[in-house]
Amino acid sequence: MKLETRQTTGSFKLRGVSNTLLLSGQTAKGFVAASTGNHARALAYAAQQMGKPCVVCMSKLVPENKISAVRALGADIKIVGSSQDDAQQEVDRLVLSEGFLPVPPFDDKRVIAGQGTIALEILEDRPEVDTLLVPLSGGGLAGGVAMAAKSVKPSIRVIGVSMEKGAAMAASLQAGKPVVVTEEPTLADSLGGGIGIPNHYTFNLCQTYLDDIILLTEEEISAGISHAYWQEQKIVEGAGAVGIAALLAGKVRPSGTVAVVVSGRNIDMALHQKLVSEYQKI
């Protein structure tokens, strides 16, 4: 398991955000982004470290625990609409009106490169890995990891894992082009949102480098969260648990060494307690 849960802000997102701000943020007036939670948390933290203002636009589907955590880091939160696309429209307005630097959550070269460092670290530590399971949302993580992994080890198999409810990248790849998908409530809330139309980088990366995509039911994701807690003593959010869940459900049957990217821990703890308690009773 590649435990991105141990990052300062609880998820892998700090990699891409830090890379972007180091490369482009020194002269910026401030920063703005749309996010389902973890990207916002990373951006708020990094902006605070630089002493610059940060505005985060979120839809009303984002869980309250993630909103509170971002606000606690000093970001100005704007709740806009019912989807990531609605929130992005407010970002675009703020870029024009306030002159803030936009920090995209996934479809950006600097962000993708930052996320790809995960694959380099995995293969440095465990070069024998044959299969990588990576959470799939907008494709910054999955696309960056897959491209980096295959640049080091072309034979490695990289599988993107998402939820059945509103998996925008999976639907887009099936359609052969970016498409709009209705965003729905899910335990894997960090994987929600569209991939952007047009999409500049991540659709092509996922189309080129991912070997397969697996979609999970809410019950399977819940089992992944609970297994991580009871068997691995790890607190993992739904999006972070999808690789574990895919193995538990038998939807991946690898023959060699498998690495699972456990992407984040930022779950509402009352929900976590409910899920793991119910799982223990089964």
Residues taking part in catalysis: 13, 263
Question: Please, is 29 exposed, middle or buried when counting C-beta atoms within 10 Å of its C-beta (0-12, 13-18, 19+)?
Answer: exposed
| CA–CA separation, 209 and 106 (whole Å) | 16
What distance, in Å, lies between the first and last C-alpha atoms of the chain? Answer: 25
The sheet carrying 76-79 orders its strands as 76-79, 54-58, 31-34, 101-102
Q: Which residues contact 268 (CB under 8 A, 6 or more apart)?
A: 63, 64, 65
Closest by CA position to 145, among listed 173, 118, 181: 118
168: phi then psi, degrees, rounded to nearest 5: -70, -45
| CA–CA separation, 108 and 161 (whole Å) | 21
Token pair of 184 as six digits: 């729905």
